[in-house]
Amino acid sequence: MTRVEFFFNVPDKLAKAAELCSRAVVKGRQLTIFTQDDAMSARMQDVLWQHSATSFMPSAHPGSPEQHDVAIIVDKLGEQLLQDDILINLKTEHPPFFSRFKYLVELVGVDDTDKALARARYKFYRDRGYQIKSTDESAT
């Protein structure tokens, strides 16, 4: 069953996604980052490339020539899923295909609208029997 983890009160969701990717890639994991739209996908790729002064994390879009050569796929549609390891959801709704992944990460910002949408996703997963781990980023 998919492990679900929510990170609440995240001031910069793209930076947090990059941090999580950095830790996962070192461990040999593969990730898909599910974004809202093209603009968010482009910003996410920029953040990944600039995450560390001493290294970069290459990523690709589904259908690009590099898609099989990188550990991180940035995807707004979820139509060409290339792996089933880690999914980071940056959309406001639950991904319809989340259960094929081993681990689902939900990032929740600090504004009330984002929190309300996250509560609906949390309830959706909980009502289907998923165990959910929650981490409050404001406490760290």
The pLDDT of residue 54 is: 65
Over residues 69-120, the pLDDT tens digits come to 999 999 999 988 989 999 999 999 999 999 999 999 999 999 999 999 999 9
Give the CATH number for residue 86.
Answer: 3.40.50.10110
DSSP secondary structure, 97-123, as one string: TGGGSSEEEEE--SSHHHHHHHHHHHH
- Domain assignment of residue 85, given as a range: 3-139
Which pLDDT tens digit goes with each residue over 26-75? 999 999 999 999 999 999 999 998 877 666 788 999 999 999 999 999 99
SS3 60: strand
Number of domains in the chain: 1
Q: What is the pTM of this model?
A: 0.95
- How high is the pLDDT of residue 126? 98
